[in-house]
Homo-oligomer: A and B are copies of this chain.
């Protein structure tokens, strides 16, 4: 086994079944991140969780089942962290910029989670829904505040999300430094109709967070 992952940590005081399940999920994250969903094998996941192959099937029906659960939990957890740290920001452009930058930062701090998000975006609708949920609210707010002049429909959301994920991928690949998060924020704000100068200001201003620091594990 390779260290203790976030799910395992969260399950530390629960009954054995729960702990094993959590170990399988941490292992699945590693394998999905490295090999992609299609190429990942149940055997490899079990091996990394230090259980024999048969144990896997006690806990999950098949590969699809664990993938859906892992993707959902990862997306949910990240979204929750971001939301919690932003309750004090009112301006929609600032909220968007802050959320996007934090999202990329958090996902980079846990690279395997980042890759799982990217690689599962195509297959797992629940990931899309999770990430979009925090986006949609702020975008709609911006329209109401008169900051954004673009119609926020499903296609717009989809395009914006793909920009953010592209930035995350570039960052995880190491193609770019931490500035990618601000760059992509600025680009999206321009798409939304924020004037260039204001977009730059929002995207590059320092982030103020509620509380000390962002929590990067469950």
How far does the Cβ of A103 sit from chain B's closest Cβ, in whole Å?
A: 15
The A115-142 residues at the B interface (CB cut-off 8 A) are none
* Contact present for B193 and A191 (CB under 8 Å): no
* Contact present for A196 and B196 (CB under 8 Å): no
State the majority secondary structure of interface residues on A: helix
Which of A5-13, A86-94, A154-162 sits within the interface? Answer: A154-162
Q: How many residues of A contact B (CB 8 A)?
A: 29
Per-position contact with B for A26-40: 1 when CB-CB < 8 Å, else 0? Answer: 000000000111110
How far does the Cβ of A149 sit from chain B's closest Cβ, in whole Å?
A: 7
Residues from chain B with Cβ under 8 Å of A150 in the complex: 187
A35–B39 Cα distance when bound, in Å, is 11
* Contact present for B196 and A191 (CB under 8 Å): no
In the complex this chain forms, how many copies of it are found?
A: 2
* Contact present for A187 and B159 (CB under 8 Å): yes
Interface set of A (CB-CB < 8 Å, partner B) = 35-39, 149-150, 154-156, 158-159, 161-163, 165-167, 170, 175-176, 180, 183-184, 187, 190-191, 193, 196
* Sample (28) of A-B pairs whose CB atoms are under 8 Å apart: A36-B38, A37-B38, A38-B38, A38-B39, A149-B196, A150-B187, A154-B175, A154-B176, A155-B167, A155-B170, A155-B175, A155-B176, A155-B180, A155-B183, A156-B183, A158-B175, A159-B163, A159-B167, A159-B183, A159-B187, A161-B166, A162-B162, A162-B163, A162-B166, A163-B163, A187-B191, A190-B190, A191-B191
